[in-house]
Amino acid sequence: MGQVIEANELTKRYGSTAAVNGLTFTVRPGHVTGFLGPNGAGKSTTLRMILGLNDPTSGTVTVDGRSFRDRPRGLRHVGGLLDAADVHGGRSARAHLTLLARSNRLPVSRVADVLEEVGLTEVARRRIGGYSLGMKQRLGIATALLGDPPVLLFDEPLNGLDPEGVMWVRRLFRRLAAEGRTVFVSSHLMSEMENTADHLVVIGRGELIADEPLAAFSARGTRLSVTVRTPDPAGLAAVLISEGAAVERDEPETLTVTGLSSDRIGEIAFEHRVLLRELATRTASLEDAFMELTADSVEYLAGDRR
């Protein structure tokens, strides 16, 4: 497949600190790939290196087997939204997109197409400086789509979007991936990826933590736990503990049990004639898995003394 992004031992140092350290991963077409990590993990630096804006200290990153800097024109190959603020506020959206289209020898009709696609047709003649963050995000997405490229990069694209906008972006990403494109989307919020990505590249402090399907990632995080509600929590807790479970009492009638399956808990309760009002398995949330895996690599911890 042509349009893959391949990073190989990618490293970027600023002085003595490594923003990105020996990163190796592959992003394939046909999927939405989430690029996750806490703030300061090196996501933006990596995306900038993919787009040739920053040069790696060592290692390589290629798109379709070529370093992006080696291409004379970029919009037909990779569309990128790195920062919605990377525009000149003095121009209209139409002027902004038209000059970019001209530079890449794209038909100027593409400008109207992408403006329609992102819903900015009505305001296309207004100066970008007066746009809200959400409108700038839409303009950034329009810019990325301008050259109809097989590879798309988005850095925190959901910032500033309203719920309707978030839904729209998710549908757009899925459609772009279904068309056979490579879609690489960064975020520091796991919950944003939960309904968007199929595959995850997770980094922390510039190093790779995981590169696997979303389902595999969420499964490896937290142990399963079971919520049980009963009028006799003390009695049930005693027998469950004797069966080897760990039990926590959350509310007067509610227990959180780990170490036993919900089937086994039901059997034990039946054997001991304990009435159950609720028995539910809590699957590990992606957020939990993410927090657990990146806990060691959080750059700026709240309350951390510098």
Partner 1 sequence: MTTLTYVRNFEAAEPAARFRDLLASEWLKLWSLRSLRWATGLGALIVVAINANAAFADYSNWPHYSQQIKDNFVPAWSYESSFTDISALVMMLFTGAIGTVAVVGEYGSGMVRTSFAAVPARRSLLAAKAAVLTALMLVFGILVTAGSFWVSQAILSGRGVGISVTEPGIMRGMLASAVLAPACALVGMSLGVLIRHSATATGSVIALLLLVPLFFTEDRYWSAVFKHAMLHDAWRYLHKIPAIDGAFKAQLPYPSTPGGAWLVLALWPVVAVVVALVVVDRRDL
Q: Are strands 151-155 and 246-251 parallel, antiparallel or unpaired?
A: unpaired
Q: Residue 71 or residue 282: which is nearer to partner 1 going by CB?
A: 71
Distance from C-alpha of 121 to C-alpha of 233, rounded to nearest angstrom: 61
- Interface contacts to partner 1, rule CB under 8 A: 2-3, 30, 48, 51-55, 68-76, 78, 80, 82-83, 85-92, 95, 98-100, 102-105, 143, 149-150, 178-181
Q: How far is the CB of 114 from partner 1 (least distance, A)?
A: 13
Q: How far is the CB of 77 from partner 1 (least distance, A)?
A: 8
Q: Residue 33 or residue 182: which is nearer to partner 1 going by CB?
A: 182
Q: Is 77 exposed, middle or buried (0-12, 13-18, 19+ CB in 10 A)?
A: middle
Q: How far is the CB of 101 from partner 1 (least distance, A)?
A: 8
Q: How far is the CB of 36 from partner 1 (least distance, A)?
A: 22
Q: How far is the CB of 283 from partner 1 (least distance, A)?
A: 22
Q: Residue 160 or residue 235: which is nearer to partner 1 going by CB?
A: 160
- Other Cβ atoms closer than 10 A to 150: 21
- Other Cβ atoms closer than 10 A to 99: 12
Q: Residue 99 or residue 280: which is nearer to partner 1 going by CB?
A: 99
Q: Residue 21 or residue 98: which is nearer to partner 1 going by CB?
A: 98
Distance from C-alpha of 258 to C-alpha of 86, rounded to nearest angstrom: 49
Are 57 and 92 within 8 A, CB to CB? Answer: no
Distance from C-alpha of 45 to C-alpha of 49, rounded to nearest angstrom: 6
